[in-house]
Amino acid sequence: MTLNEKRAAWRAAGLCTFCGGKPMKERVRCRKCVEYFRAYFQTPEYKTWNRARYQIPEYKALVLAHQQKPEVKARNRAFKQTPKYRAQDRARGKTPKRRAWIRACGHKRRARLTGNGDTPFPTEQFEALCRHFNNRCIACGRLDEPGRERVPDHIISVKLSETVMLPLGFLGDIDNLQPLCHGLDGCNNKKGWRKFTDYRTNPHPDCLRVRAVTP
């Protein structure tokens, strides 16, 4: 009997499909195999191999075809309604990486709606601008803290640009961006989209303070 035939028999008998042991509740593998694969999927060797695998066009087409199956779509929709998935999604949304990704997606969407979709967000230039102002909000001089973080603010907002003639791509240009805090009592929230305020000409004194260099 081949290995595939053994695993098919184990699956039919309700056993672990990898070793034939007693599976965990609502799983096809036993606890020992689940812990083994969970640790293996975090190794650099597996991550490198998995990234290379997704670069193969045939494999990407196979995965896409599998995801388009009605039963797979129905299973994914049902899983996204479970409390476990919703808790995980809320936890992911609070990470800095996820928040940066959400902001980038929102920026791209607004750029498409305003005809500036061909202008990439100047990430490196904006980070350099933040470092120039000591990584502080240039309006109030506060640093990032829980509930409030720095975001790129449009001096001429997207909505305000509908009433002003601007060059194509100017909205996403570094000359139209400034770092303001957003969140609880944030300067970006207070500014709104109707105000045309350039804080870079008169930043908070803490933003221009030279930090002491330790020997």
Domain ranges of the chain: 1-63, 96-208
E strand or H helix at 123: helix 123-132
E strand or H helix at 91: helix 83-93
For tokens 């129905």, the residue is: 74
**pLDDT at position 206, please?**
87
Whole-angstrom distance, CA of residue 69 vs CA of residue 86: 23
For tokens 């695993």, the residue is: 7
At 138, the pLDDT band (50, 70, 90 cuts) reads very high
Kindly report the number of other CB atoms within 10 A of residue 21's CB atom. Answer: 14
Range with lowest mean pLDDT among 20-29, 84-93, 126-135, 159-168: 159-168
* Helix axes of 70-80 and 83-93: crossing angle, nearest 10 degrees: 70
Mind listing the pLDDT tens digit for each residue in 34-81?
888 889 999 999 999 999 998 899 998 999 999 999 999 999 999 999
Mean of all residue pLDDT scores within the chain: 81
Helix (H, G, I), strand (E, B) or coil at 146: coil
Whole-angstrom distance, CA of residue 126 vs CA of residue 3: 55
CA 105-137-197 angle, to 5 degrees, is 80
**pLDDT at position 21, please?**
81
**pLDDT at position 215, please?**
42
Q: Using alpha carbons, list the distances in angstroms from residue 42 to 36, 45, 132.
A: 10, 9, 37
Position 86, amino acid: R
CA 10-13-19 angle, to 5 degrees, is 30
**pLDDT at position 193, please?**
72
**Contact in structure between 119 and 111 (CB atoms under 8 Å):** yes
**Contact in structure between 140 and 205 (CB atoms under 8 Å):** no
Kindly report the pTM of this predicted structure. Answer: 0.45
